[in-house]
Chains A and B, each alone.
Chain A
Amino acid sequence: MLSKMMRRAGKCAAVAAAGLMMMSAQAAEPIKIGSFLSVTGPASFLGDPELKTLQMYVEKINEEGGVLGRQLELIHYDDVGNASSARNFASRLLRSDQVDIIVGGSTTGATMAAVPLVEQAGVPFISLAGAVVITTPVKKWVFKTPQTDRMAAERVLGDMKARGLTKVGLISGTGGFGSSGRAQTLEVAEMMGVEIVADETYSGSDTDMTAQLTNIRNTDGVQAVLNFGFGQGPAIVTRNYNQLGIDLPFYQSHGVASDSFLELAGDSAEGLRLPASPLLVPDSLPESDPQKEVVQNYKAEYEARWDSKVSTFGAYAYDGLMLAVRAIEAAGSTDPEAVRNALESISGYVGVTGEFNMSPEDHNGLDADSFRILEVQNGEWKLID
């Protein structure tokens, strides 16, 4: 009897010891965070701050002891803004690097190219791209941190209506961001009772948009102009707009919400409005704003580390990484299913971009009010709403 118990206890001890050893082996193994970003190429102004943000905060988290006692390991690739390389890199992250979660995809094109692979592999994926198609309809494994372009359209058209402007001339880039923004604007306009009286486009590599703007100017009844695009294109549009002397309220999308846009557009940006993250105006936020502290910290840390200005795009990566960390902590492991469920039930997380409240129906978790309307005054962003 006694010997039987002894044997059983011995067995238990052996199992426990083996379990402990396995756990400690697991503890030494880092949590792999995969990423593919447009660090170079035409969308580099997205990918560059995103990568810098990820690198910086992975380091910081590791110094503070990691997540679940394990270190984070960032594995990243540069897709040069090219959707097919994004797909290849996503496949490499999933198959050979066997990452636990992916935080990346600077552009909508790159993100959508990776989505089918991620869905098939069943690995949580937090995208940093804007278009509404990424999370609508909801895909089981796909989440995203930036507000959708639909929210930007709602915010802009709402602000126009509040100023009594209901006939709008639209100009947009033909890239993924611009064309998705254009489609959303057309839909939202119809719902909000705003009329799009002119609809022009330009390609990302164009160096002059005067012809398109002349057409908008000559359209009867146009009361305001909205440009949806990113890169240097919108800055050229802004300059051309000013040269043509068009005397109508001018709006840009959140695609240009960065200080470098002000540098490019110079004086011609005066008076234009756009929907943007509070990151551009951290000090004008009221003390009662829950985001104020997060935003100020991120800005200070980023600028101290990289000696360059923060951009909203880097903030998307910050929120993406923090959401991932939160979800892994809440799940208590890196089991993909558990992490996914934890991601889906995140609520009340105050990030730089806004307050995230995820749900099974909403894998973005932000609402349109997380955008602030800013106006350029004396060469600086001014908080309007």
Chain B
Amino acid sequence: MFSEFLQYLFTGITIGATYALIALGFTLIYNASHVINFAQGEFLMIGGMATVSLTSMGVPMILAVVLAVLLAGILGIALQRFAIAPAKQADVVTLIIITIGASIFIRGLAQLIWGKEYHVMANFSSDEPIQVFGAVLNSQSLWVLGIGAVLVVGLVLFFTRTLIGKAILATSMNKEAARLVGIRTQMVLMLAFMVSALLGSVAGIVVAPITFTSYDIGIILGLKGFVAAAIGGLGSGVGAVVGGLALGVVEAMAAGYLSSDYKDAVAFSMILLVLFFLPRGLFGAKVVERV
């Protein structure tokens, strides 16, 4: 009985951690620009795919990971420079549509380069599952959780302790005012896209051994990550993490205790409930518009 519960919990937390990492990427860009970057899933895909193809070309794993993350970072900058920045004063909805277009473009490119098959990545450490009180835990889940935790702490420090982090926050609060105090807002936006791309690609790399990876993996995981971010309240880092974990655990518990048929319906109802009672999500800021 207990081992069952524990098994569902492990499963839920692993999936949830993945969602949380993706949700964080959404949060970061939302914070800086109020744009929801629907190409976030594509950063994730680039991370996984680039690592797989580099390792299959004989590049050592660690180097492949670094190169893949760099590639995603460059892609993030390129996205901001060549797609978002030229739109200048366009409103937020237009920018969001641009990110959707960019994601389709990146996906198409990835399909041309890497083909349409699913690719496998080996577990970072042993393939042997870990036994805990009768439940099993994939060793890769520990990597997902560990790296996820490190990234979350890193992000918190980045926003509270570094000048660049604070500049991003300032830009999100008021672009004009930020510019007046000497913040180069275009640069800040570019940084936000880059950091969020780095974040997404790391997420894509750590989950690839569990989920496999393919050119279109970003659609599914990106959507779930967005849902997690919305539950947590777009723009809140803590919210993204809580939202992701909650979504994962609810999905797993629903599959285990209710019926696997209703799993997605349960997750969906959860979003509706949260947004119905807390339109800004669990941790959304209560912003008052002053006129």
Contact = CB atoms under 8 A, between A and B. Distances in A.
Interface of A: 40-42, 44-45, 48, 174, 200-203, 205, 207-208, 210-212, 214-215, 218, 232, 235-236, 243-245, 260, 263-264, 266-267
Interface string B88-120: 000000000000000000000001000011101
Contacts of A218: 4
29 contacts: A40-B116, A42-B216, A44-B116, A45-B117, A45-B118, A48-B116, A201-B261, A203-B263, A207-B15, A207-B18, A207-B207, A208-B15, A210-B7, A210-B11, A211-B11, A211-B255, A212-B255, A212-B256, A214-B8, A215-B256, A218-B4, A232-B212, A235-B118, A236-B211, A243-B129, A243-B138, A244-B136, A264-B212, A266-B120
Given A201-B261, A203-B264, A236-B211, A211 B8 contact: yes
B187 interface: no
Contacts of A174: 261
Interface in B179-238: 207, 210-212, 214, 216, 220-221
Contacts of B15: 207-208
B22 interface: no
A259 to B, nearest CB: 11
Contacts of A264: 118, 120, 212
Interface residues of B, number: 34
B160 interface: no
A245 B216 contact: no
Contacts of A236: 211-212
Contacts of B211: 207-208, 232, 236
A350 to B, nearest CB: 30
B208 to A, nearest CB: 10
Given A200-B260, A211-B7, A211-B256, A205 B220 contact: yes
Contacts of B8: 210-211, 214
B117 A211 contact: no
Shortest beta-carbon contacts, A-B, top 8 = A211-B255, A207-B211, A211-B256, A44-B116, A205-B220, A243-B129, A210-B11, A201-B260
Interface string B1-40: 0001001101110110010000000000000000000000
A241 to B, nearest CB: 11
B256 A260 contact: no
B289 interface: no
A260 B260 contact: no
B7 A232 contact: no
A40 B111 contact: yes
Contacts of A267: 127
Given A236-B211, A263-B120, 19 more contacts: A42-B216, A45-B117, A48-B116, A174-B261, A202-B255, A202-B260, A203-B263, A203-B264, A207-B15, A207-B221, A208-B252, A210-B10, A214-B8, A214-B256, A232-B118, A232-B214, A243-B138, A245-B136, A266-B120
B120 A208 contact: no
Instruction: Identify which of A201, A214, A267 gathers the most chain B CB atoms within 10 Å of its CB.
Output: A214
Interface of B: 4, 7-8, 10-12, 14-15, 18, 111, 116-118, 120, 127, 129, 136, 138, 207, 210-212, 214, 216, 220-221, 252-253, 255-256, 260-261, 263-264
Interface residues of chain B: helix, strand, loop or mixed (majority): helix
A260 B260 CA distance: 27
A243 B136 CA distance: 7
Contacts of B207: 207
Contacts of B210: 207-208
Given A174-B261, A200-B260, A208-B210, A214 B117 contact: no
B119 to A, nearest CB: 8
**Which of A174, A205, A210, A215 is packed against the most chain B CB atoms within 10 Å?**
A210
Contacts of A260: 117-118
Contacts of A41: 216
A42 B266 CA distance: 24
B152 to A, nearest CB: 21
Contacts of B214: 232
Contacts of B10: 210
A212 B260 contact: yes
A247 to B, nearest CB: 13
Contacts of B255: 202, 211-212
A103 B261 CA distance: 34
A218 B260 CA distance: 15
Residue with the highest number of chain B CB atoms closer than 10 Å, among A211, A245, A260, A264? A211
Contacts of B212: 232, 235-236, 264
A174 B252 CA distance: 16
Contacts of B7: 210-211, 214
